[in-house]
Structure 1
C-alpha cells in the first residue's frame, strides 16, 4: 500500500472513531491533530490512537499498555502480538476507562 493510500485509510478510520465517540453518551473529551486522536476521561486517564506511517500501523497507548495494529490480508486491523481486532480492543479500553459500555467497529 502506498503512503497516500495508508493516510486515506487511516483518516477514514479515525473519522469513524470520532463519529462513534460523538454519538456515545460517554463523558469524555477528544482532540484529533495530525493523525493523533487523544481521548481524555474525567478521571484524567487518556487513550491515544495514532497512525504510524513508517510501519503502516495504528498504535494505541492506554493505561494498560501500548498496542500495535496492522492491516491483514482480509482488511482487518489486528494486534501484531495477540491478533485481537482494533475495534474490539478499543471498545474495551474506552469502555473500561469511561466506566460504561462502548462499542465501535472498524468495518
Structure 2
C-alpha cells in the first residue's frame, strides 16, 4: 500500500469513529467524549476510562490502547486487522468500548 492509500484509509477510519460516537451519543446514554488531535482520537467514557486510537504512519498501522491492552492493526485490502490475528478493528473497538462503558455499543466502518 502506498503512503497516500494508507493516509486515505486511516483518515476514513478516524472519521468513522467520530461519526459512530455521534450516533451512539444520540441513540444511547453512553456519553462518549471523543477528542481528536491530528492522527489521534481519545474516547473518554462516563467512568473516566479511555480508549486511545492513533495513527502510526511510518508503519502504516493504527494503534489502539484500551483497558484490555494495546493493539496494532494493518489494512489487509478489505479491513483493518489485528497484527497478531485477534480480529478486525471495529469489532474489537465495539467489544472494548462496551466493556469500558458498561453497555453494548456498536462501532462500524
TM-score (norm 2): 0.89
TM-score (norm 1): 0.91
Distance 1:38 1:103, change over 3 A: same
Which of 29, 35, 43 is the equivalent residue of 2:33? 29
Separation in structure 1 between the aligned mates of residue 7 and residue 76 of structure 2, nearest angstrom? 16
| 2:60 equivalent to 1:56 | yes
Two-structure CA RMSD over aligned residues (Å) = 1.2
Structure holding more helix per residue: 2
Segments of structure 1 that go 5 or more residues without pairing to the other structure are: none
Q: Which runs of 4+ in 1 moved over 2 A?
A: none
Separation in structure 1 between the aligned mates of residue 64 and residue 89 of structure 2, nearest angstrom? 9
Give, in angstroms, the shift of residue 105 of structure 1: 2.0
